[in-house]
Amino acid sequence: MAFLDASLIRLKETISEPQAAIRSAGRLLRESNYVEARYVEAMVAAYEQHGPYFVISPGIAVPHARPEDGVIRPAVSMIQITKGIRFGSKANDPVYLIFALAADSNQHHLELLQKLSRLLGKEENIIRLKKATTLGEIQNLLKGDSI
């Protein structure tokens, strides 16, 4: 189980299109072998089929697919987008932070979501994640917040 490990974070992405952004966050999971390549495409397909329901907080998208779509081990990756992207969410566009979830169906999966929920339940953390310019800033935040 991996929660925003160094290899799972990318800052200052200059993408402007939702599908490309989902693929970019998914690629981090793929490259570290947390998911199969087909999982990344399943996340994109979920967006195309069901719309931006996973844009669940102002400026934040949490794309994911089903465990059976190719999760190898549970993990969460993050990309920070310099210029917000419109996913079509009336309530929560534009999106600046994308957290791709690789969720299996066991207990670790719940722990990951609890960590994410604790992290993003605090407005000040979201501001720091949006403004961070180095990996070190994010790691300090994750260490300091008893997440």
Structure tokens at 92: 């929560």
From 12, 16, 53, 106, residue interacting with other proteins (rule: CB under 8 A): 53
Which residue, 9 or 103, has its beta carbon nearer to other proteins? 103
Instruction: Report the distance separating Cα 13 and Cα 75, nearest Å.
Output: 20
**13-21, 26-34, 90-98, 133-141 -> range binding other proteins (CB under 8 A):** 90-98
- 63 in Cβ contact with 95 (< 8 Å): no
Instruction: Report the distance separating Cα 5 and Cα 87, nearest Å.
Output: 26
From 21, 25, 62, 98, residue interacting with other proteins (rule: CB under 8 A): 62
DSSP letter, residue 8 = G
CB of 61 to other proteins, least distance (A): 10
Determine if 114 is a binding residue for other proteins (CB under 8 A). yes
DSSP three-state, residue 93: coil
Q: Which of 70, 73, 72, 50 is closest to 61 using CA atoms?
A: 50
From 18, 85, 89, 96, residue interacting with other proteins (rule: CB under 8 A): 89
DSSP three-state, residue 104: coil
Which residue, 6 or 110, has its beta carbon nearer to other proteins? 110
Active site residue 64: yes
Q: By CB under 8 A, name the binding residues for other proteins.
A: 46, 49-54, 56-58, 60, 62, 64-67, 89-92, 101, 103, 109-110, 113-114, 116-117, 120-121
